[in-house]
Amino acid sequence: MGDYKVLAPFIMPLTARIKLRIQPLPTAQQDDNLHTANLFAIKSLWSELAAQGFMQLGTFASEGDEYLFVVGQHPDTKIIGLVASRLVGPPFLEFMVVSATNAVKVLSGNPEERPLQLPLISIEPKTKLTYDFAVTSFASPTAWRVFDVRMLTLLIERLHAIRMDNLLARAPNLEDIKAYAEKNGVNVPLNEQQQKRALEMNRNAWIEGVRVALLDNAKRKLKLEEDSWGRLETELIAIHQGMNAEEVIATLTEHEHVDRLGEQLKKQNFGATQIFDEINQRLDVADQRQLVITLGSPVMSRLFARASVLQSAGVEPQMAGAQ
């Protein structure tokens, strides 16, 4: 890890899910994570919104204080205004509206934002974003919803999850890593060994991000009570298209001879997901994993657990081979 300081600007943040809490805007003395310049910029951006009539509804921080949001809503247009800040990069503005049918439209000044168009959610990146532009863009006969603090918290958390599912659709490559650093003002060349290390660190972050996202998506779709989900969550194995053979084999290495069997299957040119299926079928019946759910986001995935765990959680396994 001696090269971490060199590589840190090249490590893309892939926090798949966030949990927000209400927290007053800290001072520079209270929070070492916020540079004084960033704190000044956050206050300056919010002052602009306040001058345009926005009423502040809350200041929110994520667990670990990686994200900070100052949020309000305009009493006349019902547009939600948001100042967002992260540990890396300057703060930025976003404007959004939510219809009576829960359709969400977002204009984002985040320089790293990706456009997204889903049936109920649209996100449009916009440089030099202003409130006047948002008023024009959101002009509609539809009455936008009025939000309270609780609803805003849920909205921001859900939007983050959807954005991250879009970002996690594939592992970061070297071009992504370099572009991310350059956007944040870092243009230091990496040697071959550092490039390899940066790719490895970003892939590990991506694998973990996908795992967290898949568990969250499975929880929402299965609609289990908290105690049932608690019994199931820690036992779930996620197998997805982005995993390589070594990563798949590692999900079952607690069992005897799995490493050796995995190497044999690799030599037979089995794909990664096929290797999991082959190993799983050769385990003792009590240790074989049953298909729990198939997910398409953030990547095509299958989640598995032992039959005994499914029974304890009150979940019926899917048919073998179901996609």
Helix residue ranges, H only, the chain: 4-7, 36-51, 131-137, 149-167, 174-183, 192-222, 226-233, 245-250, 258-267, 272-282, 307-313
Q: Which of 11, 156, 161 is nearest to 88 (CA)?
A: 11
Task: Tell me the helix, strand and coil percentages in the chain, rounded to 5.
Answer: 45, 20, 40
Q: Which of 57, 60, 56, 55 is nearest to 23 (CA)?
A: 60
Maximum C-alpha span of the chain: 67
Give the pLDDT of residue 322. 43
Q: Which of 322, 168, 193, 165 is nearest to 243 (CA)?
A: 168
**Contact in structure between 143 and 160 (CB atoms under 8 Å):** no
**Contact in structure between 292 and 304 (CB atoms under 8 Å):** yes
> DSSP label at 105?
E
Helix residue ranges, H only, 110-186: 131-137, 149-167, 174-183
The DSSP secondary structure of 12-23, one letter per residue, reads --------EEE-
Give the pLDDT of residue 38. 80
Give the pLDDT of residue 34. 54
Mean pLDDT, the chain, whole residue set: 91
Predicted TM-score of the model (pTM): 0.88
Q: Which pLDDT tens digit goes with each residue over 131-168?
A: 999 999 998 777 899 999 999 999 999 999 999 999 99
- 216 backbone φψ class: left, alpha, beta (φ>0; ψ -120 to 50): alpha
Spell out the residues 6+ positions from residue 48 whose beta carbon is closer than 8 angstroms to its own.
Answer: 131
Alpha-carbon torsion 278, 281, 287, 292, what sign? Answer: positive
Q: What is the mean pLDDT of each run of 10 residues along the chain (323 residues)?
A: 75 92 73 65 94 96 88 96 86 95 95 91 94 93 88 95 94 93 83 94 95 96 94 95 94 92 93 95 95 96 96 87 45
